[in-house]
């Protein structure tokens, strides 16, 4: 009986310690320790939390290990100005970078959520880029990312400052079954990006992220504008033609601005060459398959932080966030569980030529319903319905 009581006490302690470190339970913590220790034993010193420093630059540090354990054991309360990250999405199919399944995503994310709230400064922000998922076997969408947002606000006390939508013009039509084959859905071309904070009043200034004026707006400012009441009821004053040196960016992220939609923050994710990719190929290292383009973290780092502030990415991947934060004069911390991606990430901080300022890229937005000849394409009405061949 005494031995049983002792074991029970040890189990309770293990459970408490696991939750302190941000894991969902003792079993999850044990699985992590086994894999981490096996992977790290031949690579030098690591802390009791299984996390070790992997690379250090003048402005930041890259860590190898589980960011939940790192946050719980190493990061002080209210020490971070911006958490900027793109966690593994809750997809139906497993990817090489270790995504969680959509149906258990919230349970997995809780350990991160509690730590994010603790380490953020009162005026700091949390920005999460997260893609949607399709329910297995049916042409309907999972609600997991909406449920995640609700959980973060209702259970952990975050405020939703604004939701953004990253439009990626280069996304391929998918999912293939519903979009390309049966043609009963349109392609999924946006990610949700949630801007959260511990207070309704985090520091921010949209002048930091102004977009170029469209040709139409430039013409209006040059020729003048007659103040009048629009049919919509908006009273447009003569201040509408004032030159503020740029347009206020909207929450549709399309950073390379097409002429037809000057306020879109359109970020194509098509980069196949560059210093990081060249470094990985030269050293026979895997290129991270789910990188976000550097303009995405750049937008929020500029918008929400000052030089010298601390930016943290708990799902660093190839450390795009760290590279951008360092370039903009911020301090940065990145954590990544997969060492092979960290090896490649070091390439982002090796010597290179001066960074060239990116030239804006234009994208035309083709209106739907403008291709004739398909009015009689049959509508699918059931699970086994397959459309007939469309006309050429």
Distance, in Å, from the CA atom of 321 to the CA atom of 311, rounded to the nearest integer, reads 8
CB 60 within 8 A of CB 319: no
79 is catalytic: no
282 and 332 assigned to the same domain = yes
Domain harbouring 169, CATH code: 3.40.50.150
Domain count, the chain: 2
123 and 231 assigned to the same domain = no
Q: How confident is the model at residue 25 (pLDDT cuts 50, 70, 90)?
A: low
Predicted local distance difference test score (pLDDT) of residue 328: 96
Q: Which residues contact 81 (CB under 8 A, 6 or more apart)?
A: 120, 121, 123, 124, 125, 304, 305, 306, 309, 310, 311, 330
Q: Residues 103-109: what's their mean pLDDT?
A: 83
Predicted local distance difference test score (pLDDT) of residue 34: 47
Tell me which of 312, 334, 349 is where a domain ends. Answer: 349
Whether residue 392 lies inside any domain: the answer is: no
181 and 313 assigned to the same domain = yes
Distance, in Å, from the CA atom of 229 to the CA atom of 234, rounded to the nearest integer, reads 6
Q: How confident is the model at residue 130 (pLDDT cuts 50, 70, 90)?
A: very high
Q: Which one is catalytic: 129, 188, 309, 313? A: 129
Q: How confident is the model at residue 188 (pLDDT cuts 50, 70, 90)?
A: confident
Answer yes or no: is pLDDT of 266 > 90. Answer: no
166 and 106 assigned to the same domain = yes
Whether residue 325 lies inside any domain: the answer is: yes
Write down how long the chain is: 392
Answer yes or no: is pLDDT of 347 > 60. Answer: yes
104 and 233 assigned to the same domain = no
Q: Which residue has the higher pLDDT, 65 or 14?
A: 65
Whether residue 30 lies inside any domain: the answer is: no
Q: Which residue has the higher pLDDT, 117 or 268?
A: 117
319 and 221 assigned to the same domain = no
Containing structural domain, residue 227: 213-246
Answer yes or no: is pLDDT of 359 > 90. Answer: no
Q: How confident is the model at residue 139 (pLDDT cuts 50, 70, 90)?
A: very high
Predicted local distance difference test score (pLDDT) of residue 35: 47
Whether residue 312 lies inside any domain: the answer is: yes
CB 164 within 8 A of CB 251: yes
191 and 65 assigned to the same domain = yes
The tens digit of pLDDT for each residue in 57-83 reads 999 999 999 999 999 999 999 999 999
329 and 205 assigned to the same domain = yes
219 and 178 assigned to the same domain = no
321 and 241 assigned to the same domain = no
What percentage of the chain's residues is helix, strand, coil (to nearest 5)?
Answer: 35, 20, 50
Tell me which of 230, 246, 262 is where a domain ends. Answer: 246
Whether residue 197 lies inside any domain: the answer is: yes
Predicted local distance difference test score (pLDDT) of residue 279: 80
Predicted local distance difference test score (pLDDT) of residue 372: 78
Whether residue 10 lies inside any domain: the answer is: no
87 is catalytic: yes
Q: How confident is the model at residue 41 (pLDDT cuts 50, 70, 90)?
A: very low
Answer yes or no: is pLDDT of 290 > 50. Answer: yes
265 and 240 assigned to the same domain = no
Q: How confident is the model at residue 195 (pLDDT cuts 50, 70, 90)?
A: very high
338 and 283 assigned to the same domain = yes
Answer yes or no: is pLDDT of 319 > 60. Answer: yes
Cut 0.85: pTM above it: no
Q: Which residues contact 309 (CB under 8 A, 6 or more apart)?
A: 81, 82, 330, 331
Q: How confident is the model at residue 107 (pLDDT cuts 50, 70, 90)?
A: confident
Angle between helices 144-154 and 105-119 (to 10 degrees): 40
Q: Which one is catalytic: 59, 67, 86, 142? A: 86
Whether residue 81 lies inside any domain: the answer is: yes
Answer yes or no: is pLDDT of 156 > 90. Answer: yes
Whether residue 319 lies inside any domain: the answer is: yes
Record the tokens describing residue 24, joined without a space.
Answer: 């969902």
297 is catalytic: no
Answer yes or no: is pLDDT of 232 > 70. Answer: no
Distance, in Å, from the CA atom of 83 to the CA atom of 195, rounded to the nearest integer, reads 10
CB 102 within 8 A of CB 90: yes
Record the tokens describing residue 149, joined without a space.
Answer: 């947002």
Q: How confident is the model at residue 88 (pLDDT cuts 50, 70, 90)?
A: confident
Mean pLDDT score of the chain = 78
Q: How confident is the model at residue 100 (pLDDT cuts 50, 70, 90)?
A: low
């Amino acid at each position: 009986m005494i031995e049983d009581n002792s074991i029970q006490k040890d189990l309770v302690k293990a459970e408490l310690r696991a939750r302190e470190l941000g894991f969902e339970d003792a079993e999850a913590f044990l699985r992590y320790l086994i894999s981490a220790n096996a992977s790290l034993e031949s690579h030098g010193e690591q802390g009791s939390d299984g996390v070790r420093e992997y690379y250090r630059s003048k402005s930041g540090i890259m860590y190898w290990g589980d960011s939940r354990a790192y946050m719980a054991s190493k990061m002080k309360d209210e020490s971070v100005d911006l958490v900027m990250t793109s966690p593994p999405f809750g997809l139906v199919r497993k990817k090489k970078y270790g995504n969680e399944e959509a149906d258990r995503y919230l349970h997995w994310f809780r350990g991160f959520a509690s730590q994010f709230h603790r380490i953020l400064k009162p005026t700091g922000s949390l920005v999460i880029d997260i893609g949607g998922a399709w329910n297995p076997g049916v042409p309907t969408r999972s609600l997991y990312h909406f449920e995640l947002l609700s959980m973060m606000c209702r259970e952990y006390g975050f405020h939703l400052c604004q939701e953004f939508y990253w439009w990626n013009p280069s996304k391929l039509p998918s999912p293939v079954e519903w979009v390309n084959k049966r043609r009963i859905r349109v392609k999924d071309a946006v990610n949700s990006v949630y801007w959260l904070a511990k207070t309704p009043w985090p520091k921010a200034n949209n002048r930091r992220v102004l977009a170029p004026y469209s040709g139409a707006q430039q013409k209006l400012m040059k020729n003048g504008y007659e103040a009048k009441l629009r049919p919509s009821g908006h009273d447009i004053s003569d201040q509408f033609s004032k030159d503020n040196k740029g347009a206020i960016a909207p929450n549709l992220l399309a950073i390379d601005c097409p002429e037809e939609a000057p306020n879109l923050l359109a970020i194509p994710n098509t980069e196949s060459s560059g210093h990081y990719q060249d470094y990985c190929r030269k050293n026979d290292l895997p290129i991270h398959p789910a990188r976000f383009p550097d303009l995405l973290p750049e937008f929020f780092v500029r918008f929400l932080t000052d030089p010298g502030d601390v930016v943290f990415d708990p799902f660093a991947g190839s450390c795009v966030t760290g590279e951008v934060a360092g370039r903009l004069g911020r301090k940065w911390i990145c954590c990544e569980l997969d060492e092979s991606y960290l090896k490649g990430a070091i390439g982002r901080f090796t010597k290179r030529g001066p960074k060239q300022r990116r030239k804006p890229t234009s994208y035309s937005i083709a209106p739907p319903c403008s291709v004739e000849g398909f009015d009689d394409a049959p509508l699918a009405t059931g699970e086994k319905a397959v459309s007939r061949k469309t006309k050429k």
